[in-house]
Amino acid sequence: MSDATAADPRPAPYFDPYDVDINADPYPAYERLREEAPAYYNEQYDFWALSRYDDVQKALVDWQTFSNSRSDILDIIKADIDLPKGVILFEDPPEHTTHRGLLSRVFTPRRMAELEDQVRAYCVRCLDPLVGRDRFDLITDFAAELPMRVIGMLLGIPEADQVAVRDRTDENLRTVPGKPMEVRADRVADGSLFTEYIDWRADNPSDDLMTMLLNAEFEDDQGVTRTLTRHEVLTYTSVLAGAGNETTGRLIGWLAKVLAEHPDQRRQVLEDRTLVRSVIDETLRYEPTGHAVARYTMTDVDYHGTTIPAGSAVLLVVAAANRDPRRYEHPDRFDIHRPDIQHLTFGYGLHYCLGANLARLEGQVALDEFLKRFPEWELDYDEMQLAPTSTVRGWEQMTIIPGG
């Protein structure tokens, strides 16, 4: 047999984060990246991609090489714009250390646990009106509502204004299907929408995150003890509102989908609610809301015999890493009894998601309350629609048919 005959007839591995067909089911593309091109280069959009668990995990820790200073979103890195100061997603130490320490005062496990009753009350308010319907849109009626209410409560945004805030922050993540995000420097972490709330809250302090941001003292990277400037408070508020709305809503959609498709495991959770936390983390591993984070290389770095040059945009494809057979047994199997459901969906190292505890809390309470009302359900696949965004993968429309 000739070499040509023996050669793999398939084209070389290809990955495009904006490709609608790939996005519909990206896991075959991820498998080929892991096995055939673990240090992959996309010439059209000029970025590299790492896809194996160990490679992604190590890169997430190595901030000196894989920097956040140009953003953690590929589209923003490639836009090469001046980024606003004070956004921890766009920083490395020492600035990042200072600002993360400030926010970590709020996102503690204890404080998140204190929110549980309020999160449950929001779930009840959203879900009770759906009982008795023969079908409903889970995203519009529940998944897009809950995170908005929780973030609005944390920030002290009046309930009447929360929908407008959600829609504005979500709009910044939308893309035209098949194309990169249109990045405008004046819209990145733009907090102008919150100006009136912050001014009002400065005169009317309360027990919310916005009041804490206005009053918290800290030592900045120049060694000066001070409070945040008004502009810094606006920036922080914008980042928190955006991060908290989109990802948690997508998680709720994935929970409904994977449990509809694994009815035996759904019934196990129905009978034993101690499994709910395992469901959350296995879903985050199996169908992560964010499939990749971007970094900018500060030096040349070698992976698998390939040199990624300094000054490169690199996608760390956590969704591919989460299904790496080198790390997990039967990685493409959804299994809530998996003995080790560690994953990289919330990141790893110094940029580990500050809101991870809040996202888990919302997911656990949402699933618990949903199961109380809808122990069995099916999906209308003809009416399901993925959201048009390259940064967060999830459902914009999902019709639930109760009863199963």
What tens digit of pLDDT does each residue of 231-255 get?
A: 788 877 777 776 667 778 899 999 9
Task: Answer positive or negative: Cα dihedral of 58, 248, 388, 70.
Answer: negative
Quick one: tokens of 236? 């922080």
Other CB atoms within a 10 A radius of the CB of residue 273 amount to 14
Of the ranges 62-71, 114-123, 169-178, 321-330, which one carries the lowest mean pLDDT score?
Answer: 169-178
Q: pTM for the complete prediction?
A: 0.89
Determine the longest span between alpha carbons in the chain, in angstroms: 81
Q: Which amino acid type is present at position 44? A: Q
The closest of 164, 183, 180, 160 to 172, measured between CA atoms, is: 183
The closest of 32, 11, 18, 97 to 291, measured between CA atoms, is: 18
Inform me whether the pLDDT recorded for 189 exceeds 60: no
3-402 has which CATH code?
1.10.630.10
pLDDT-above-90 percentage for the chain: 54
CA distances from 54 to 89, 272, 300, 327, 334 (A): 22, 34, 19, 8, 21
Q: What is the rounded distance in angstroms from the CA atom of residue 101 to the CA atom of residue 240?
A: 15
Of the ranges 7-16, 254-263, 379-388, which one carries the lowest mean pLDDT score?
Answer: 7-16
Inform me whether the pLDDT recorded for 190 exceeds 70: no
Inform me whether the pLDDT recorded for 5 exceeds 60: no
Domain boundaries of the chain, sorted by first residue: 3-402
The closest of 254, 80, 246 to 171, measured between CA atoms, is: 246
> Sorting pLDDT into bands at 50, 70 and 90, what band is 26?
very high
Quick one: tokens of 292? 């990749």
> Sorting pLDDT into bands at 50, 70 and 90, what band is 3?
very low
> Could you tell me if 53 and 341 are in contact, meaning their C-beta atoms sit under 8 angstroms apart?
no
Which residue is associated with the tokens 């459902």? Answer: 395
pLDDT of residue 184: 58
What tens digit of pLDDT does each residue of 114-128 get?
A: 789 989 999 999 999
What tens digit of pLDDT does each residue of 60-82 get?
A: 999 999 999 998 989 889 988 88
What tens digit of pLDDT does each residue of 193-230 get?
A: 777 878 888 888 887 778 888 888 888 777 888 888 88
